[in-house]
Amino acid sequence: MNREFVKDIYRKIGLSESSIDNRIQQSDMLSTFNKDPHVGTGGGVACAYDSVTGSFHAPLVVKDLNEAILVRKALENMNAVAMDSDTYAFNIPSSGVPLPVLTIWTTRMIEQMYKKTTLSLLAGSWQQGSPGVEEIKIPTMSYAGKIGLYNDYSQNGSTSININWVTRNIIYFEESLVWGDMQQAQFELAKIDYVNKLREALSITVGQFQNDLGFQGYAGITSSNKPQLFGILNEPNLNPAISLPASGIIPGTTTLTTAWYGKSFNQLVTDVQLLFRKVMLQTEGQADINSKCILALPPSAESALATPNPISSQPFREYLRQVFPNMEIVITPNFEASLNTTGATTNQTVVMLLLQHPNGEMPYDELFVTKWQGHRPVPMASSISEKISFGLGGVILKYPAFVTYAFSV
């Protein structure tokens, strides 16, 4: 007989374990006097057949009708569960939780990082004309005079002015984008504004190009009417670079270097003093160390700003701020040697010092006719094309005496 099956039924109707033991003892005694395990034999005691285990179980002893009803319901529930466990839909081999249920699609987009654009920090903006202009003439004026000895009857000495027009060319560039109805529909299902992102990518690309052209210029196309445009590093008015002393030592070697990462605090101070000395000589007293100025450094030289003073432990950056209160330090990626943008490369790292002219202007200006002109979109059967253009003239160095620079910093 399946005693555990019987005990489970008693437990389901709420009997305690001691009561269950007593009921089992009574079942054993009844079974002793009812040897034949068929229903309805032996003194009215039924020995039920267990379809789950395939065996007969001991008689179920109940004390009243209510308890008999509870036992019947318990049996029905147990049989129903047993039948469900044999149903194929509940008994197939488990294949685990489906992967889509275990996958999270995040809503935060991780976007590409672009080079920091710093042209606007080193050069002012000088817009001229309107779209269609191809050449800009910039007037310049210089003075001359010659002093002679006085005589009542002579006209010694002379005074003159020289007026000239410096020519800068304008070149127009363009960029376009196109998007289709299906592209937009599919990206919308992914909660991505595809058209807006395309326009954002276009603006980033244009901004990077204009920034790089302002530093390296544009070589032009000799076989066409596309002339050269000048950048900060190759503007014709730019004076020759000064040479910094190779007083530093490349870390871990005995090799001398002009690079700032190998120089001591005092050697860095000397380099900055040389840059200022050159500007002071060129400007003939029109600039001083209290003038507003920009010290433009490549990223590889920035760590040198943390070089401590061996006496006071003051970082080199703090020293510069204290001695040159109107200095702004601009980390300029385009002054890095590895940069190759508009077809030209710096080949060497560059440090540049720019001082403000007494009239309040900085030495460089970026020339342009327009930096962004949108054209009418072109609708097609299931796509749309958009286009923008811009006209650049490179940069012009108005006050070359207020700029000095050096390579291999």
Confidence at residue 311, expressed as pLDDT on a 0 to 100 scale:
93
CA 206 to chain centre: 17
Angle at which helices 3-12 and 17-33 pack, to 10 degrees? 130
Chain mean position to CA 32: 86
- Total-model pTM: 0.72
Q: Give 274's pLDDT tier (boundaries 50, 70, 90).
A: very high
* Chain centre distance of CA 77: 62
User: Is residue 408 within 8 Å of 242, Cβ to Cβ?
Assistant: no
Residues of the chain above pLDDT 90, percent: 56
Split at pLDDT 50, 70, 90, the class of 75 is: confident
- Residue 341 — pLDDT band, cuts 50, 70, 90? very low
Which amino acid, 270? T
> CA angle, corner 84, sides to 101 and 91, nearest 5?
50
Buried/exposed 300-318: b ≥16 CB within 10 Å, e otherwise? bbeebbebeeeeeeebbee
pLDDT tier at 33, thresholds 50, 70, 90: low
CA gap 27, 3 in Å, rounded: 10
Closest to 329 in 3D by CA, of 338, 341, 319, 340? 319
Instruction: Mean pLDDT check: name the lowest of 58-62, 146-150, 398-402.
Output: 58-62
Domain boundaries, the chain: 3-91, 123-136+168-407
Task: Give the number of other CB atoms < 10 A from CB of residue 11.
Answer: 13
Highest mean pLDDT among 60-64, 194-198, 294-298: 294-298
Q: What is the mean pLDDT of residues 132-158?
A: 90
User: What is the pLDDT confidence band of residue 343, given thresholds at 50, 70 and 90?
Assistant: very low
CATH architecture of the domain 123-136+168-407 equals 2-Layer Sandwich (3.30)
Q: Mean pLDDT over residues 10-16, rounded?
A: 83
Q: Which of 318, 396, 330 is nearest to 123 (CA)?
A: 396
**Angular region, 294: left φ>0, alpha ψ -120 to 50, beta rest:** beta
Please tell me the total number of residues recorded for the chain in this structure.
Answer: 409
Average confidence (pLDDT) over 214-242: 86
Residues 6+ away with beta carbon under 8 Å from 30:
43, 45, 59, 61
- Token pair listed for 68: 């008999």
Q: What is the pLDDT of residues 177-215, one digit of tens each?
A: 999 999 999 999 888 899 999 999 999 999 999 999 999
- The 10 Å Cβ neighbour count of residue 146 is 9
Q: Lowest-confidence range among 79-88, 224-233, 294-303, 374-383?
A: 79-88
